[in-house]
Structures are given as structure tokens and as C-alpha cells.
Chains A and B, each alone.
Chain A
Amino acid sequence: MSAASAQLNSTPTTAVTASEALPTAEQHGIKEHSDGRFGYVPVQTRSDRFKSVNVADFAAVTGREAVWKLSPVKKFADLTSGPLDGSVYPIDHTDVAGVRVDWVDRSDSRIGSAGAPEERASANAWSSFEQALSITISGEDAKEATVTRAALGSGARGAHTIIEAKPFSRAILILENTGEARLTENVEIILGESANLTVVSLQEWGDSAVHLTNHFATIGRDARLKHVVVTLGGSIVRVNPSVQLTGIGSDTELLGLYFADAGQHLEQQVFVNHVAPNTRSRVTYKGALQGQGARTVWIGDVLIGREAAGTDSYEQNRNLVLTEGTRADSIPNLEIETGDITGAGHASATGRFDDEQLFYLQSRGITEDEARRLVVRGFLSEIVQQIGSPLLEERLQAAVEAELTATEDN
């Protein structure tokens, strides 16, 4: 186990922002506990966390829970404890042969097959949704489909989505999110045998949006899931992918790209559970932070279970800090229950684009703005290039570009 976090500027921000430059003492528990066991951390295997689909089974969120301790929980109490609107909402989607998009009842047999909530916002969504959005993929031909949510409104909402890739099917599925939202939701991703699915979750929300989502995936025998989280817009966005490699020879690649501006809180807690033998996982998340109070959190948990002989696993997180006043937490955790593995490793680094780098680039004739763009573009394009959809890659390069321009205007 190892943990790394970087705090590059401890100057507290006085502006009211979504992120808290520092958690409060109360939230972090930075004081002597009454039981006198300050600093004691109970050992618990990652897969043993309490799970329930019923919101009432979770105590009220305090911000001290392991899953919430780095989140600004007070800013979205409505999503963890309030009543949620679980009704059907408007979506747009491309019409592609082999991709069926419809709404299904709570009784749909697939619901609950990929995972269950481990925290209250997730359970609240599960308890509240009226119908689940179902995206079913079939057919061996390569195809690309986009499902867009752009009009969720600013009321607190709970939602549920099922993505099922039938055995041997193949597709790239893009989930686009724009506009305003206060949303907590669960997304289940079910890959049948030898399915090959890329899911790209794109968070380009409006400035005040709050979005908490858990993606539960279960991967069948020899199937492959490429999961990409791109978060650029929104006030608080927390995307927690949790992948169970349950089929022998299953494979997952988890990619993430995030760009936090002033006041944004962007968080991702990634969990890969190697259940079956000969499974492979790669986790690569890269983020840039720019502006006062820009805050990112990455927690990467990998569990290699007792039966998962021959596992090949690697996870890494890289953060690029562009200005003062930001904070990036990066915590990789690796748990190994069998010695018979091919490889397991992790890496975390948080570096900053500093004055010396700027001076170097400027001394070669490059303007300050161009220097910044050059560095960020280079840093983030490693993720973009791996998505496998040329059109989307082009669009994302442009989005990153726009992000850079927007922050310059601030």
C-alpha cells in the first residue's frame, strides 16, 4: 500500500468555491478521537465494503467516511439525503444498427447484476429512479453511438442506466453530458463473453452542475472494456468507476482525463477487482489544474483476489499543476491476495508547470500562452489518442484547447 498526495499551495481560499482548498478539521478528523486510537486505520479488503441498494441502510453523510473524506459533502447534501426526482428525463441519441436505447422498469433482470451502492448518494439514486435507461449493444460489426443528456435541469435527480454488450458484440458508446444538473446516479455496464466495448463518459456540464456517478462494470470471459472518463465542465463532478474482472481472460483499460479550473472539484475513485485468473487491467488518469481553488482527487484501488492467478495490472495517475492555489490528491492502493501474478504496479506523480519551464520555452521565442498550451496539450493528448474514435479525439483536443482559452480569460 502506498499513498501520495500533493498539496502545492496551502493558502486558504476565501472565495466561495465548490472545492475547499483544505478540508475542515472536523471533516478530516484532524483531532484526537475520544477512543484514544488516533491514526488507527482498520484493515478492510476493498471488496468487503458495506453495500446496499437501500438508502436507509446508510447513516447520514458526515464527510468523515472513507469514500467522502476528500469531497465537499456539504455542497450536495440534497443528493445524499434529500428526496430525488427519479422520473424519466429527455435524451438524444444517434440511431445506429445494433444499439437499442429505451427505458426499462425496475424489475428488469439486469439491474443489480454489475454492482451495488457503497455510499449514500449512490443508494439514494438507486432507491429513487422510476425507470432505467437501457442501452443494449449487439452485433459483431464495429459501430459508434452517442447518447446525450443536455436538459436535466437544476432540481436534485436520481437516475439509473444499464449498458449491456451482448456476447461477441463490438461498439464505442459515448455518453455526453452538458447543461445544468444536480444528479446522483448509477450506471451498470455488463459485458458478455468476448464483447469488446468502449464507454466514453464525457462530462462537459455547465458551471454550476453537480454530478455524482458510480459506474459498475462486470466483464465476462475474454471480454474487453475500455472505459474513458473525460471531465472538463461542472462545479462538482465525481465519477467512480468500479470494474469486476469476473470472466477468465477479461481485460479492462481505464482512462481518465480531467481539467480543473478555479473552484472546480473533480474527483474519481477507481476500483479494479481482479476476480478471475488471467485478467489484465491498465489504469491511466491524467489531470491538469489551473486557478484558485481548483481541486482534483484520484483514488485508485486495485485488488488482486485469491483466485486471480496470472493477473497483469498497472495503475497510474499524473497531475499537472499550472498555477498556485490548487490541490491535487492522488492515492493509489494495491491489495494482492495471491503471489502467482504476472505483474502489478502503480505510480503517481504530481508535477507543476513552473517558472523555469516557462522561461525555457519563452527563451525559444514561444509566448507565455502558447507555452502553457503546448505543455497541457502534450500532457493530456496521451489519453485522448487512446480513445480509438478519430472524430471524438479531434473534438476532445478542441475541447481541451477551449478549456485553456477559457481559463486564460478568467
Chain B
Amino acid sequence: MSVLEIKDLHVSVETDQGTKQILHGVNLTINEGEIHAIMGPNGSGKSTLAYTIAGHPKYTVDSGSILLDGEEVTTMTVDQRARAGLFLAMQYPVEIPGVTVTNFLRTAKTAIDGTAPPIRTWIKDVRESMKQLRMDKSFAERNVNEGFSGGEKKRNEILQLELLKPKFAVLDETDSGLDVDALKIVAEGVNRAKENTGLGLLLITHYTRILRYIKPDFVHVFVDGRIAEQGGPELADRLEDEGYDRFLTESNVG
């Protein structure tokens, strides 16, 4: 069974005003097949955690570690992490001019598996996933994210999640900017991916909305760069009622 362990993770970022510490000792263990939701107010460091796991060069790990099945992830390059089984569904996926979705998916799949996917089953898989995500066939020949609407970009992220079959996926604010219909389609895709591959999920969100459609096993409240409280799904319900004020006051005093 695969496990992703985050141990006492301290992360900083370079800004114009100098080095800024963002994560102050994050501890989190995700087992295969588990869904963890990380909830927190804006600026609490949720996205920093997501990008640090993926290896974005902007973030510096000052101490602590991220282990995937015991292997240190923080020393790997971005592409090595992906090949090791990590996936980040981004909040704002960028446009890649000149590269079609088809070409991109095949290249990524080949990179991750180490061999090119058998052509016939691959085309079938892509078509099937696109159909279930209600993506028009014409998407396949369009350049990656070029001219995509916000909802189309998110669906394209989930399409990759389904096809690349990672061990662990981090979904960074995948629910933001989606109307309820699009949210359902995206949530179905995530649930389908989990059913098919049994991956572990780290769901990063500001709102509880997405948790109606993707049921978390654990909820962590993230405040000021660390986990302030943990619990089961009931914690999300409480946050929906009370908001983050309780935690913000505590952190201000502390």
C-alpha cells in the first residue's frame, strides 16, 4: 500500500520584501485510497503546500520532508515526482501554444509509463474519459488550455488525472470558479478516478461546496502555515456554519 507522508515541513518563498516563511511545520500522512480535505482561509498556505509537493521552483523547502513510500520527494525534479506517482491539478492551468491536447496527453502518458501506450486502447480511453467529462471531441485537437474557459481548464485537469493514473493527487481549488453543473461533472471524474485506481487524494479548498460531491475521510483546517485542527467530515460541516473566524482569532492571539 502506498503512503504519502509530510513531516514537519517548513517552506519559504522569495518576495520583493525578502524571504517569507509560509509553512511552519506541516505534518500529514495520506494512505492510498484516502481522501483528505485541507480547508483554510485565503493566505493560510494551502496552495503553497500543493505547489511544494509538486516541486514548483518558487518554493524553498527549509526543513522537513515529503516521503512517497519512504522515498524523499523534495530532492526530486518536478518531472521525477510526476513519474513517481504524484499529480497536481492546478487552480490556474497555463496555456501551452502549439501543443494539442492529444499530443500532450500521449507525451505525458509515455513519460510516466516509460513506454508509449498501445495506440488503440489509448485512443479509446481518451475518448471515453472525454465523453464522461462532457468534453467535446474538438478539444483533442485544440492547443492545451488555449482559449479554454475556466470550467474547461478544470475538466482538462481531471481528464489528465483519469488518464495518467497517479498514486496521489493534489487538487488545488479545483472547485473554484465552477458552476454547480460543472462542479458535479468534475467531482464525478475525481470519484471515478479514485474508484478505478484507488489513489489517495488531497483536496485543497476554501469552501465546503465540493465536499458535498467528494466525500472526505479526513478534514484538516489549515491556518497560518500549519494544521490547526483535524477531524472527520463533521468538521467540514462545522466550518460551513461557523467559518474560519474561530481559528483566525486564535492565531492572532497566539
A binding-site residues for B, Cβ under 8 Å: 320, 351, 355-357, 359-368, 370, 374-382
**One of A363, A377, A381 near B88 (C-beta < 8 A):** A363
Residues of B within 8 A of A375 (CB): 96-99
Contact call B160/A361, Cβ cutoff below 8 A: no
Interface residues of B in 141-160 (CB under 8 A from A): 143, 160
Is B30 an interface residue when CB atoms closer than 8 A count as contact?
Answer: no
In the complex, what's the smallest C-beta–C-beta distance from B52 to chain A, in angstroms?
12
Is B77 an interface residue when CB atoms closer than 8 A count as contact?
Answer: yes
Contact call A374/B107, Cβ cutoff below 8 A: yes
| A-B contact sample (10 more), CB < 8 A, given A351-B97, A362-B55, A366-B82 | A355-B57, A361-B104, A361-B108, A362-B78, A363-B87, A374-B103, A378-B98, A378-B100, A378-B103, A381-B98
Residues of A within 8 A of B108 (CB): 361, 364-366
Given the complex of chains A and B, what is the CA–CA distance between A213 and B212 in angstroms? Answer: 67
Residues of B within 8 A of A368 (CB): 77, 79
In the complex, what's the smallest C-beta–C-beta distance from A47 to chain B, in angstroms?
35
Residues of B within 8 A of A366 (CB): 79, 82, 107-108, 111
Interface residues of B in 67-106 (CB under 8 A from A): 77-79, 81-83, 87-88, 90, 93-100, 103-104
In the complex, what's the smallest C-beta–C-beta distance from A112 to chain B, in angstroms?
41
Contact call B96/A365, Cβ cutoff below 8 A: no
Residues of A within 8 A of B78 (CB): 359, 362-363
Contact call A382/B94, Cβ cutoff below 8 A: no
Contact residues of A: prevailing secondary structure: helix
Contact call B107/A370, Cβ cutoff below 8 A: yes
Contact call B100/A362, Cβ cutoff below 8 A: no
Residues of B within 8 A of A378 (CB): 97-100, 103, 143
Closest 7 CB pairs of A and B: A378-B98, A379-B98, A362-B78, A365-B111, A365-B82, A364-B108, A365-B112
In the complex, what's the smallest C-beta–C-beta distance from A44 to chain B, in angstroms?
36
Is B203 an interface residue when CB atoms closer than 8 A count as contact?
Answer: no
Contact call B96/A359, Cβ cutoff below 8 A: no
Residues of A within 8 A of B79 (CB): 362-368
Q: Could you mark each residue 38-79 of chain B with 1 if its beta carbon is under 8 Å from any beta carbon of chain A, else 0?
A: 000000000000000011110000000000000000000111
Given the complex of chains A and B, what is the CA–CA distance between A272 and B129 in angstroms? Answer: 47
Given the complex of chains A and B, what is the CA–CA distance between A356 and B90 in angstroms? Answer: 11
A318's nearest neighbour on chain B, judged by CB, is B97
Which interface class (under 10, 10 to 19, 20 to 34, 35 or more) fits B?
20 to 34
Residues of A within 8 A of B160 (CB): 364
**7 residue pairs bridging A and B, Cβ less than 8 Å apart:** A362-B79, A364-B112, A365-B83, A365-B112, A375-B99, A378-B97, A378-B103
Given the complex of chains A and B, what is the CA–CA distance between A351 and B103 in angstroms? Answer: 21
Count how many pairs of residues, one from A and one from B, have CB atoms less than 8 Å apart in the complex.
80
Contact call B111/A364, Cβ cutoff below 8 A: yes
In the complex, what's the smallest C-beta–C-beta distance from A369 to chain B, in angstroms?
10
B92's nearest neighbour on chain A, judged by CB, is A356
**One of A355, A357, A367, A382 near B96 (C-beta < 8 A):** A357
Given the complex of chains A and B, what is the CA–CA distance between A380 and B97 in angstroms? Answer: 11
Contact call A382/B98, Cβ cutoff below 8 A: yes
User: Do A364 and B96 form a contact, CB below 8 Å, given A359-B57, A374-B103, A374-B107?
Assistant: no
Is B199 an interface residue when CB atoms closer than 8 A count as contact?
Answer: no
In the complex, what's the smallest C-beta–C-beta distance from A225 to chain B, in angstroms?
27
Contact call A367/B111, Cβ cutoff below 8 A: yes
In the complex, what's the smallest C-beta–C-beta distance from B74 to chain A, in angstroms?
15
Contact call B111/A370, Cβ cutoff below 8 A: yes
Is B164 an interface residue when CB atoms closer than 8 A count as contact?
Answer: yes
Residues of B within 8 A of A361 (CB): 96, 104, 108
Given the complex of chains A and B, what is the CA–CA distance between A362 and B94 in angstroms? Answer: 12
**One of A355, A374, A380 near B104 (C-beta < 8 A):** A374
Residues of A within 8 A of B164 (CB): 364-365
Residues of B within 8 A of A367 (CB): 79, 111
Contact call B97/A379, Cβ cutoff below 8 A: yes
A378's nearest neighbour on chain B, judged by CB, is B98
Max count, chain B CB within 10 A of own CB: residue among A357, A363, A367: A363
A361's nearest neighbour on chain B, judged by CB, is B96
In the complex, what's the smallest C-beta–C-beta distance from A118 to chain B, in angstroms?
34
In the complex, what's the smallest C-beta–C-beta distance from B90 to chain A, in angstroms?
7
Given the complex of chains A and B, what is the CA–CA distance between A375 and B96 in angstroms? Answer: 7
Given the complex of chains A and B, what is the CA–CA distance between A27 and B148 in angstroms? Answer: 44
Residues of A within 8 A of B112 (CB): 364-365
Given the complex of chains A and B, what is the CA–CA distance between A361 and B56 in angstroms? Answer: 12
Residues of B within 8 A of A320 (CB): 97-98
In the complex, what's the smallest C-beta–C-beta distance from B96 to chain A, in angstroms?
6
**One of B94, B100, B107 near A360 (C-beta < 8 A):** B94
A381's nearest neighbour on chain B, judged by CB, is B98
Contact call B103/A359, Cβ cutoff below 8 A: no
Given the complex of chains A and B, what is the CA–CA distance between A377 and B111 in angstroms? Answer: 17
A377's nearest neighbour on chain B, judged by CB, is B98
Contact call B82/A363, Cβ cutoff below 8 A: yes
Given the complex of chains A and B, what is the CA–CA distance between A259 and B83 in angstroms? Answer: 31
A367's nearest neighbour on chain B, judged by CB, is B79
Residues of A within 8 A of B100 (CB): 378
Residues of B within 8 A of A374 (CB): 99, 103-104, 107
In the complex, what's the smallest C-beta–C-beta distance from A103 to chain B, in angstroms?
43
Given the complex of chains A and B, what is the CA–CA distance between A320 and B98 in angstroms? Answer: 10
Contact call A362/B82, Cβ cutoff below 8 A: yes
Residues of A within 8 A of B143 (CB): 378
